Structure 1
């Protein structure tokens, strides 16, 4: 006979996990494209970064909606949904600012675009780490 723990860990669902984890390689790709643009000054790298940021914002925006639902339905003693939601929200807002920075002329977006890409990538990785390992959606009843 097996006994269930009083507070089981409930991981994000498969769609939430896919959206959350899918934004990291896109933000990372934008960072690498910014680095490539900074070294070569070929405009196509700036275009790649802009498109990668747009895709990452779509995925992380939907993950943010899932995080909001988890925040509203979670028992706050059962995990850190507030920290996860706030970290993901800050990453999304700074990602939006980064998209606006990348909308400038390619030469004008540097070095601000590169700095924002580094910050957003680190925040997205941290949000994904917390979201996939420590998020608890509630208590079994």
Structure 2
């Protein structure tokens, strides 16, 4: 089997870049909220998390389609697993941030945001490092 290249790979990379940016933004705005107690930072976090979930879910579905089409391997299963975990933790994070007022962030909200950020960065690293393509080329 040859390495997978073409517009589909590029589109998947573009879709994945959005949750990497938005979950990182969510973590940064949570930190800003904890330092300033300005409620608008929590609102920014909520919107960033929802946007990250939408595009993260699309990347997860795309990775499942890749697995269904027979592009299997340890790295691809790991990639899909990381994206699945990102969606679950991101959903819990969105629910936490939707709480009323000042309790919406706190220690748990920041921890969930940081975990989402780390999972998104791991997924991005797996996608952009070429590990998935090298495995397909074997």
Q: Whole-Å Cα distance in 2 between the matches of residues 49 and 65 of structure 1?
A: 24
Off by >2 Å, runs of 4+ in structure 1: 74-77, 136-140
Instruction: Please give the residue correspondences for 1:1-141 in structure 2 after superposition, counting only pairs within 5 Å.
Output: 7-11=1-5, 13-77=9-73, 80-109=75-104, 110-132=106-128, 133-136=130-133, 138=136
**Structure 1 residue 15: deviation in Å?**
1.4
Unmatched runs of 5 consecutive residues or more in structure 2: none
Q: Whole-Å Cα distance in 2 between the matches of residues 90 and 113 of structure 1?
A: 16
Higher helix share: 2
Normalising by structure 2, report the TM-score. Answer: 0.87
| Superposition CA RMSD, Å | 1.9
Q: Whole-Å Cα distance in 2 between the matches of residues 70 and 112 of structure 1?
A: 34
When the two structures are aligned, how many residues end up with a matched partner?
133
Normalising by structure 1, report the TM-score. Answer: 0.86
Q: Mark the structure with the bigger radius of gyration.
A: 1
